[in-house]
Amino acid sequence: MVRSTRDGAVTSSSTHATRDTVVPGAGHVTPGMSAPLGEDRFRLAFQNAAVGMSIVSADGMYLDVNDAYCRIVGRSRQELLGHSSDVPTHPDDLAAAGRRRQQMKAGEIGPYVVEKRYILPDQQVVIGLLNVSPVHDVAGNLLYQTVHLQDITNQKLVENARHESEEQFRVLVEHAPAAIYRLELGLGGRFIYGGPLFQTMTGLSMHPRRPTLADFLARVHPDDFDRVAAADQSASHTARTFDIEYRLKSEDGAWIWVLNRAWPSRNADGMITSWLGVLLDTNEQHMLQETLRASESRFLSVFEAAGVGMALTTPDARITLTSPVLDRLLGYAPGALIGMPADNLVHPDDVAAQAPLRQQLATGEIGSFQAEQRCQRADGTSIWVEVTVTPIRDSDGGVLAVLAQVQDISARKEAEAALLASESRFRALVQNDPDVVAIVSPAREVTYISPSAREAFGWPLETWRHDFEYRMRYVHVEDRDGLRALYQQVHDRPGASAVTEARIRHADGGWRWFQWIMTNRVNTPGISGFLMNVRDITERKQAELATGAALAARQAAIEQLERMNQAKSRFLSTISHEFRTPLTAITGYSEYLTENAANPALVAEDAAIINREANRLNRMIGDLLFIDGIDAGRMSFNLRTVNLNDVVTLVARNIRPIVAAHELVLDLDPDLLPTMGDFDRLAQALTNLLGNAVKYSPDGGAITVTTANRQQSVVVSVRDEGIGIAAKDLDRIFDRFERVETGIAGRVAGTGLGLSIVREIVLLHGGDISVESEPGKGACFSISLPRLQHATMHDEEG
């Protein structure tokens, strides 16, 4: 029998009522009647049949129904008899039922089988399988139809369910991310089914010929072939499900990893006839695993080889893995720490300190934390470590494990403690040192200055917090460059030192000398700049300066003495020569005098010469005595109002005999103001100047004497046109016994006392003497004396 389709369309029927079946008519049957033979027997059979039966008129009215029919459609006989067979029919099937009735009546269809739905009074739907046969009269007209009704609701549900599940399986098989296959063992093994992915994964096509087991094995990776062949062998022996993972050459030629699982399938005799199998593409997973394995082994190698100790713990801090370094650090045998609560390793005093950090870690507030703590070692001692705790989280943020990195910092801690101790020692040293210690940053800011700066410089310490240029104001202007140079000298040379001395203006207004030693400590942690050591050297410096001055003074005195000594010995030789000249003349002429006694004219001449030379001697002795008198303070001055014009006039008259070869010019200011002085001494001074003018103008020339008033003084100057004086000699010619011994001047006789006498006289008058000269262009000596006001003069004269 071929089932109807689900929409209930008729397909065919063969086994039930035929055209000539005669069914008893309606109206002849009474319920409860005893069973007679013949028609009654049919009636009884009809009534009690297990199958629902009804007789329906050509117009579709119930002529008769049996109990089973009534039960199936959920209605009583009374409710059906004489009513349309449409009464119990499901509304959705009414149209089709009507159509069939028409066709049957018109003789267009014969007996048929159809599924039809009924709706019960309680709204339940019943699916019935109808077997309908027409009964005709001899003329071929439709008399009525006989209907056999079977309730196939349950069967239908099961069938639908099966159909659905089959469909589901089909969809599953075809869409599964696996290739499903069936390998038939007969004829050397042939794949009689391969799901859609089979070809993709194996590269084997199901058409036109089904692939063989040998075809399949040819696709297996050579490295995996032996394994696969062995598994195949063993599976045929044991006939058990097998699982094996290997590489296959896929359709696109690439090797892919597959997980192959297969189940034996047996025939009724228990013989294995085929294998059902799946090929699961595990390539990605495999790659992932490979990567994981690699990263895990990398992790492990890092874990084991790391210089710091490492431990993995469960989220509740139980140790699951330790690195050898950690074991060694804490003095445990390898693996001895596994299973131990990590907290057991923390020094009891440090547990509390970590609690808030762990809390923050747990809430996700921080990703990891780092702490310095003490760890308990196996032997009971403790060790300082820096521990970094990092939770390892899954993609949802749940903690999978906790990684702790543990670094031994005991050496650092010891060094720190030592540093602290030494630092406080050094601090004490620095702070109590009278020397100033300062640290200056590369930007030249003072980042530290010791308290001694307060005393040393006198200013509040804040003064030195100002910028470089501001600080420089306190440095002596002559020393600033030196101090700047200090920076330049060490600036780019870590470790280098430079030293200078510079003055600082102290708060008390005085200058203090300091020695500045600057060292480049840019690379020294804690300094990172320039270290300045400043020492007060004021006393030393003053002593040095004082000594220097004293030395210079002594040196000058010595030089002076030496010069005087030389001058004196020169003088002695000069004086002996100078004295000898007039004495020789006197001696000689006194002898002539005796010889020429008879000749009075010659006697007079000789006597005049003797007189002249004696006078010269006398003058020289006078000069010496004069100098000596000045030195001894025995010089007395006869002061009165003097007009220098008078002095000039007198001296010019007296000296005229010796200036015969020269032209003497007097340029006297008639309004010359008077001065206060000793007339004779002033005359003596002017005589010396005029004498020199004559002596040092060997070629003659004019000698001009000028007088003039000046602002505060009166001036008399003597100008000649002689040999002049070299610039280098201008200063010293006024000193005693100083002479110019070179050139023409050296050949002129003299004692070197003339100008020094002039200067002494002028100075004793409160005046001054100066000279202007150039070699070969003559000289001009000027004496200036304080002048007297008219009133004074009148008083004097009055």
Q: What is the DSSP string of 315-332?
A: TT-BEEEE-HHHHHHHT-
Closest separation in Å from C-beta 593 to ligand ADP? 29
Q: How many CB atoms lie within 10 A of CB 226?
A: 10
Calculate the alpha carbon distances from 89 to 69, 118, 236, 618 in Å.
13, 4, 59, 188
Q: What is the DSSP string of 518-571?
A: EEEETTSTTT-EEEEEEEE-HHHHHHHHHHHHHHHHHHHHHHHHHHHHHHHHHH
Closest separation in Å from C-beta 662 to ligand ADP? 12
DSSP class of 475: B
Closest separation in Å from C-beta 672 to ligand ADP? 23
Q: What are phi and psi of 411, to 5 degrees?
A: -65, -40
Kindly calculate the radius of gyration of the chain based on its CA atoms and give it in whole angstroms.
Answer: 74
Closest separation in Å from C-beta 566 to ligand ADP? 15
CA 590 to chain centre: 112
Closest separation in Å from C-beta 604 to ligand ADP? 30
Structure tokens at 614: 């004696």
Comparison of 152 and 730: residue with beta carbon closer to ligand ADP:
730
Q: At what angle do helices 600-632 and 754-764 cross, to 10 degrees?
A: 50
784 and 714 in contact (C-beta within 8 Å)?
A: yes
Which residue matches tokens 């192959």? Answer: 260
Closest separation in Å from C-beta 746 to ligand ADP? 8
Backbone dihedral region for residue 616 (phi beyond 0: left; psi -120 to 50: alpha; all else: beta): alpha
Pairing of strands 640-642, 272-281: unpaired
Closest separation in Å from C-beta 608 to ligand ADP? 24
Closest separation in Å from C-beta 738 to ligand ADP? 6
Q: What are phi and psi of 62, to 5 degrees?
A: -65, 125
Comparison of 164 and 731: residue with beta carbon closer to ligand ADP:
731
Closest separation in Å from C-beta 723 to ligand ADP? 5
Does residue 273 sit in helix, strand or coil? strand
Sheet holding 446-449, edge to edge: 446-449, 436-440, 529-536, 511-521, 497-505
Structure tokens at 738: 């100083």
Comparison of 609 and 733: residue with beta carbon closer to ligand ADP:
733
The candidate with the shortest Cα–Cα distance to 754, out of 742, 775, 738, is 738
Closest separation in Å from C-beta 740 to ligand ADP? 3
Calculate the alpha carbon distances from 318 to 363, 403, 404 in Å.
19, 11, 11
Report the C-alpha gap between 622 and 628 in whole angstroms: 10
Closest separation in Å from C-beta 724 to ligand ADP? 6
DSSP class of 466: S
Report the C-alpha gap between 600 and 589 in whole angstroms: 14
256 and 201 in contact (C-beta within 8 Å)?
A: yes
Comparison of 329 and 753: residue with beta carbon closer to ligand ADP:
753
- Give the binding site for ligand ADP (CB under 6 A): 688, 692-693, 696, 720, 722-725, 733, 739-740, 745, 750-756, 779
Among positive and negative, which fits the CA dihedral 717, 720, 724, 729?
negative
Comparison of 228 and 723: residue with beta carbon closer to ligand ADP:
723
Closest separation in Å from C-beta 784 to ligand ADP? 18
Closest separation in Å from C-beta 760 to ligand ADP? 11
